[in-house]
Chain A
């Protein structure tokens, strides 16, 4: 068996602010974008802008990357709140494309309650091209006092 970076027998059940490592890239598994994703998303958002067949709504990939972001070789981050983000849409995505995301935390700022973590994230397609990218600002809990 390959040796995982985190020994889950002793690892905390969550990654708290103090545990967040800077400049360590985390890569998610892939997700193939299907017509079902598009139909569900369009039905849920009711975006009435006319688009062609096979078009994947710009925000759908961002939303899927938020779920993929939990599927990394690290216990879940103790997120208290999502504070904001800046995002760029660089390449169109089509039904049938497979996306995954790669993120790196490059800033941590401690507050009295929790701390702010800024994560750079890229969404790449099956050819490794960056389709969307930006930075996300999260409020993360500090480790509870024993």
Chain B
């Protein structure tokens, strides 16, 4: 069973409240054909992997799959609903691996862990590194990586 949606508590809204090793689980979301079609339109990536059902019958995957970057974008949204706001400053860097396909109709959620905190007294010096795994409904890790965020504001 997936855990219930996590709601950030006001206690961990600031950099000072984050702890290395703290883990979070996001709500789930079903990735639909509509998501893939809309993402093709928005990004302009109409590669056959995502848009040609007939071609993909004969492919490695046997069917259309979601864009890897659509999975990345959706997990970022899911993570923003499952992690404290302080872990969601502006992105400075991402290292990411696409380990398996997200198929139309798959339901994904994100498991995150804070792995690095670099302090500083000024905004812009506080860096949070988060490790994330995107899991499907079968418990397979379909994407994983690490992102680094910089905080734009701090505890008054």
Contact = CB atoms under 8 A, between A and B. Distances in A.
Interface of A: 31, 37, 40-41, 44-50, 58-60, 62-64, 66-71, 76, 79-89, 92
A49 B88 contact: yes
A92 B90 CA distance: 9
A63 B39 contact: yes
A85 B6 CA distance: 29
B80 A67 contact: no
A59 B80 contact: no
A69 to B, nearest CB: 8
27 contacts: A40-B42, A41-B42, A44-B74, A44-B77, A45-B76, A45-B77, A46-B29, A46-B77, A46-B80, A47-B76, A47-B77, A48-B77, A48-B80, A50-B85, A59-B76, A62-B69, A63-B39, A63-B69, A64-B42, A66-B67, A67-B43, A71-B44, A79-B47, A81-B49, A84-B96, A84-B145, A86-B96
Given A46-B29, A66-B45, A82-B68, 13 more contacts: A44-B74, A45-B73, A46-B74, A46-B77, A48-B80, A58-B91, A59-B91, A62-B69, A63-B70, A71-B44, A84-B95, A84-B97, A86-B93
A92 B46 CA distance: 27
Contact of B98 (A46, A63, A66, A81): A81
A37 B42 contact: yes
A132 to B, nearest CB: 9
Contacts of B42: 37, 40-41, 44, 63-64
B72 interface: yes
A63 B49 CA distance: 16
A140 B48 CA distance: 13
Interface string B71-85: 011101110110001
Given A79-B49, A88-B93, A89-B91, A46 B81 contact: yes
